[in-house]
Amino acid sequence: MTNERITLPPAEERELVRTLAQHVLEVRAPEELVLFDESADEFFADPERVLAAGGRDEAVGFGVELALLTPFVLAVVTPVVQLLVNMIGAAATKHGQRSVDDLVRRLLRRPSTDSSNADAEPPPVLSADQLALVRTVALDRSRTVGLPEDQAALLADAIVGGVAVAGTP
Amino acid sequence: MGSESPGAITLASPQPRPQILAVPSPTISRFLLLVAALLSSGLFVGTWIHNQSAVGDDWLERLRECESRRPPLAADAGTAELLRAEEWFLRCAQPAQETLAWYALFGVGLTIVAGVAILAVVPVVIRRRRELRPLGPRLESASSGLAAIARDTGLRRSPRAMIGSSKLRDAFSYGFPGHYAIALPPALVVRSTGPAFDPIVRHEVAHIARHDVLIAWSARAFWIAVAVLLAAPVLVAIVQGDVSLLPSYLWRAALLVGVTLVASAGILRAREYDADVSSATTEHRRAALRALLGTSARAAPRVWGRALARHPSAADRSAVLENPALLARPSWVDAALAAFLASVVMPLLVSVFATVPSITAWAYSVPAILVGPLMGATVGLSLWRVAIVDRVITESSSIAPAARRLFAGVFVGYLLGGFASLAEVGSVITITTRIPIVLLDAVLVAGATFLAAGVAVLAGSRAAHFSARTYTAGAIALSGIVFAFVLWASTTVTRSWDLAGWSLARRVILDVLTQAPAASVVLVLGAAVLALLALRSSPSPPAWAVDERTPALPERAAAAPAPPAPPALRTVLLLGMATGAAAALVILVFRAAVGPAEGFDEQVQRYEAYTWVFAGAGAATAVSLLLFHGITGAGAGLLAAPVASVTSALGFIAMNTFYGGAVSLGFIEGVVRPGVVLGALLLVLVSVIAVLPLPRASHARPVLVILVAAVVGALVAGGTLALRDAVSPLPAVDTDAMAVEEYVTGYAPLVDLRLSELDQTVASISADTTSTSVETAGRIRAEIVSPLAELEAGAADVGVDDESLETSHRVLLAGLETLARAYEMYAVGYETGDGELLLDAGAAQRLGVQEIQAWRTSVAARLAGG
């Protein structure tokens, strides 16, 4: 792995974030998938505002806040995807393999954008250390966005599980 | 009144669960008071607009003119002179004052229009800012779930289900009656079969069913309108560089805006408790709601944030769900806020009515009739609610501490409001001068709290005879009457005190407060208490006051200790009669000891002193009742006091007849009525001793209660008669001086005003170029000659003993006669076209004017010389 940081074009990165977030939501909150596209669009338009929402004392409101998990999953998944891109991208560059985007897609078991190489190679596999690092990043980010400790842990596990299961040949 | 901090009343289990919403919470009346306070600010704004315009300049000019011509008063002027001078001034200023009143009403209209306009755009703004959209077919499950709950709750029209963006995390309702909508957070919509959906949607539907949406948003809309309108005078003053009024205006406006904001939040918090209780009617639903509230991660706000919070804490809400009796626990802060608002509204309403002479007679009664029921429904309904909960939960009686809390709140709120009303902006009377006046005002109004509490206990003990609706109506009606009566009396007294000091206030108490309508009010209250006491007291609460899902009533009734009993009807009646008889006996002894009155003035003095004795007998009954029966005694006093006053007055009449006085129904009514009214007012003052930790309604021996009342009545009567010179000072007699003063301060100004009006008529006829000569002649005869002849005839009937004044009066008579003759010559001249006659008429007119001027000068000289 080189020290050079690999970044994907924003649109591609968001696509991967959406993909992994949907993976996680299928496990943690499948009922939210019905509103996933709208929620994701609102999140990407202004992530901080969506995450910091709440605290309003609505007149004739109920007085207890219920937040979607989706924005938090998207917020946590974003650095995870960046981490995965760097992990897989370093190896891909070294061996002259296909695009990072495709490799991550394959890791997440999503259709490749390069149809000529579809299913020609097995998806990349992450080592135990790499998965541990993914969990650490996910856990840290979960805490940063204000999720309670138990939910943060569950979410980190769901992300790691999603990546590990998806990456298993 | 919904409690804000339910506190820690712990209940032994199992407890009967009160049906707390059977008697509605007084938040509606608190809301109406809030709106009234906001709208009354419009009166100030309208007046300010008037004063800023050219119309205001004209008004000022007119008032200056009237003031310059106002007949000055002697230092020892009596009530009649004071009132006559004031009446003269009001008549002089009437046209300008009417215009001012219209501007004030325009200010109210402006506030209403602005508030309604804001209210109308609120749903649009909410939809746009909160990015709300209909749920759509994908989320049909949530839509149908909401509709089902709305049907189950009994809403005729299901609210529209809207979903917000992912930034929306709390559900809320908005819209207008018939077009309500509930905004649901996406996290709830996607979990429409989850455990949170039903409690949250039921809570919101309860808000809609209870009209909370309209209350919340209209309070906010009017608040915004008033805040903006009240800012206008500040901005204009700064722009114009005239900030002289700002010191007295700014803090009052800011306080009003701040208090209404806090009051509005308090009302919303109380409505949240109600919505919780009415939406969770089964133990299963209560458990679900409590569980949901337990998940709330919202941090408890600090003190100021708590005052402005629209929701109580989740812990308090859970506590109320567990024990709804907490909801009946009234808060002194809520009472203070309500009293503050009432206190700022009253003077503004009074000032509008007092402005226009044609409606001045209603200046105190109409504001009291408007505000009194709102105070009654706020404070009284709270107490009646406590009284009924006390019947359900018999382990503790909380009415006395509740009444004391409300008394303290009303006292503090009314006191502050007395200084903070916008009606006092620019007043020449300093705050320090007004302290005793405002204190008396606040004590009287707060004292009404104890009367309402006393009646509440009586009604609570007889509640089994009434339906929930009748009980509620009774609470509002009787408490409203009590507060309206006290507000009317206190405002009348304190305003007259403001106007011309205690001497006028004393006369107003005896002459104005004791009128027949006031006596009727006292009799109505007495009759109501009589009817309540005549009903059989029931140890068990009415079925409507108990949650039907609790154990059967008979079992509880058998297990529960009997609630404390109010005094029996017979005791109350005997106590009143005994106290009245004792007071009458003291009068008899006094009369026998000092003999008959010497002269008319002493007769008047004794009559007034006797009136206070009758009133004191009424108040004495309350002393004994309060001492032996606690707060309940205040309610019973409403019957005992008039009985005592009437008995003592009848005793006096019997004595007077014995000594040879004539008796007629008019005489009896004239003697009895003032004592009855003043007795009721003293009862209000005496009931203030209930702030002390008096015993709970006990089983004191009736004989002792009656004996103590009679002794106190006798002592009060003896003291009043011994201090009669202080109670009713004899006037310094100088009949000649009085006659002269009557002429120069009463009669002369009225003639002067009439002549000024005729001058204006003359100017009007002269300016009329459209009438023919014959028509002009007709107008001169009808509008000038005839009134002059009337004035002349009136002047001829005036007898003047003073020599120099008689000379002046003869000059007036001559002037009136000359003027009448001159204008008759004008009329003939116009009819005949005789130019020479018109010239003669002009000469005669000038002569008449000179004579009138000479009369004016001599009267003014007489005034200046005292």
pLDDT at B260: 92
pLDDT confidence of residue B189: 96
CB B132 within 8 A of CB B163: yes
- How confident is residue A108, by pLDDT bands cut at 50, 70 and 90? low
Portion 158-197 of B in contact with A at CB < 8 A: 165-174, 185-191, 196
pLDDT-based confidence at residue A119 (cuts at 50, 70, 90):
low
User: In sequence order, what E strands does B638-767 have?
Assistant: none
What pLDDT was estimated at residue B394?
64
Kindly list the residues from chain B whose CB atom is less than 8 angstroms away from the CB atom of residue A71: 166
Structure tokens at B185: 């957070």
Give the pLDDT score at A71. Answer: 95
On the question of pLDDT at B222 being above 60, the answer is yes
The DSSP secondary structure of A96-165, one letter per residue, reads T-S-HHHHHHHHTT---S-GGGTTTSPPP---HHHHHHHHHHHHHHHHHTT--HHHHHHHHHHHHHHHHH
pLDDT digits (tens, 9 = 90+) for B798-819: 877 777 788 888 889 989 999 9
Tokens of A16: 């991967």
Taking the C-alpha atoms of residue B773 and residue B831, their distance in angstroms, rounded to an integer, is 6
CB-based contact B216 A53, cutoff 8 Å: no
Express each pLDDT in B328-339 by its tens digit: 889 999 999 999
CA distance B345 to B782: 46
Nearest residue of B to residue A70, measured between CA atoms: B166
Q: What is the pLDDT of residues B613-625, one digit of tens each?
A: 999 999 999 999 9
Instruction: Evaluate if residue B1 carries a pLDDT over 70.
Output: no
Give the 3-state secondary structure of A93-108.
Answer: HHHCCCCHHHHHHHHC
B132, B168, B190: best mutation site toward chain A, by most A Cβ within 10 Å? B190
Interface residue of B169, B176, B276 to substitute, partner A, most A CBs within 10 Å: B169
Going by C-alpha positions, the residue among A58, A59, A68, A78 that lies closest to residue A18 is A78
**Burial class (CB within 10 angstroms; exposed 0-12, middle 13-18, buried 19+) of A4:** exposed
Residue B436: asked if its preceding bond is cis (omega within 30°), the reply is no
265-294 in chain B: CB under 8 A from chain A: 268, 271-272, 292-293
Which residue in A49, A60, A66 is closest to B185 by CB distance?
A66
Residues of B in contact with A37 (CB under 8 A): none
Q: What is the pLDDT of residues B491-501, one digit of tens each?
A: 999 888 887 77
Of all residues in chain A, the one with the smallest CA distance to B270 is: A60
Q: Is residue B18 classed as helix, strand or coil in its secondary structure?
A: strand
User: To the nearest 10°, the Cα dihedral for A36, A41, A42, A45?
Assistant: 160
Is the pLDDT confidence value at B159 over 90? yes
For residue B844, the model assigns a pLDDT of: 87
Quote the minimal CA–CA distance from B365 to chain A in Å.
36
Smallest Cα–Cα separation from B197: which of B137, B146, B271, B140? B146
Q: Do A68 and B271 touch (CB under 8 A)?
A: no
Q: SS in 3 state form for B183-232?
A: EECHHHHCCCCCCCHHHHHHHHHHHHHCCHHHHHHHHHHHHHHHHHHHHH
Residue A106 has pLDDT above 80, yes or no: no
For residue B609, CA distances in Å to B40, B265, B673, B696 come to 40, 50, 14, 35
| B12, B395 contact by CB (below 8 A) | yes
More confidently predicted of A126 and B82: A126
Where is pLDDT greater, at B301 or B245?
B245
Q: What's the distance, CA A56 to chain centroid?
A: 29
The candidate with the shortest Cα–Cα distance to B501, out of B559, B572, B436, B560, is B436
pLDDT of amino acid B16: 77
Per-position DSSP letters for B547-603, written without gaps between them: -TTSSPHHHHHHHSPPPPPPPPHHHHHHHHHHHHHHHHHHHHHHHHHH-S--HHHHH
Distance CA A132, CA A161 (A): 11
In this predicted structure, the answer to whether residue B550 has a pLDDT above a threshold of 60 is: no
Give the residue, B602 or B863, on which the prediction is more confident.
B602
Which pLDDT belongs to residue B13? Answer: 47
Residue B624 CB-density burial (10 A; 0-12 exposed, 13-18 middle, 19+ buried): buried
Q: What is the overall mean pLDDT for chain B?
A: 87
Contact B826/A at CB under 8 A: no
Q: Which chain A residues contact residue B310 at CB under 8 A? A: 57-59, 61, 63
Q: What is the pLDDT of residue B418?
A: 87
Alpha helices in B687-743 (DSSP H): 702-722, 724-727, 735-741
pLDDT at B429 over 80: no
Nearest of B160, B214, B680 to residue B444 by alpha carbon: B680
In this prediction, residue B475 carries a pLDDT of 96
Cα nearest neighbour of A57 on chain B: B310
* pTM of the full structure: 0.78
- To the nearest whole Å, the CA of A113 is away from the closest chain B CA by 30
Burial A37-49 (b: 16+ CB within 10 A, else e): eebbebbbeeeee
Asked whether the beta carbons of residue A67 and residue B185 sit closer than 8 angstroms, the reply is: yes
Record: contact A66-B187, CB cut-off 8 A: yes
- With contacts defined as CB-CB under 8 Å, which chain A residues touch B196? 66
> CB contact, 8 Å: B546 with chain A?
no
Answer whether residue B67 shows pLDDT above 60. Answer: yes
Give the residue with greater pLDDT, B475 vs A65.
B475
For the cut 80, the answer to whether the pLDDT of residue B9 exceeds it is no
Which pLDDT tens digit goes with each residue over B723-750? Answer: 888 877 776 655 566 677 778 877 888 8
Whether complex ipTM tops 0.95: no
Contact B216 A60 (CB under 8 A): yes
pLDDT at B553: 43
> A141: distance to nearest CA of chain B, Å?
20
Cα separation, A150 vs B386, whole angstroms = 45
Burial of B834 (0-12, 13-18, 19+ CB in 10 A): middle
Chain A interface, Cβ < 8 Å to B: 31-32, 34-35, 38-39, 42-43, 49-50, 53-71
Burial B262-291 (b: 16+ CB within 10 A, else e): ebbbbbbbbbbbbbbbbbbbeeebbebbbe
Radius of gyration of chain B (CA): 33
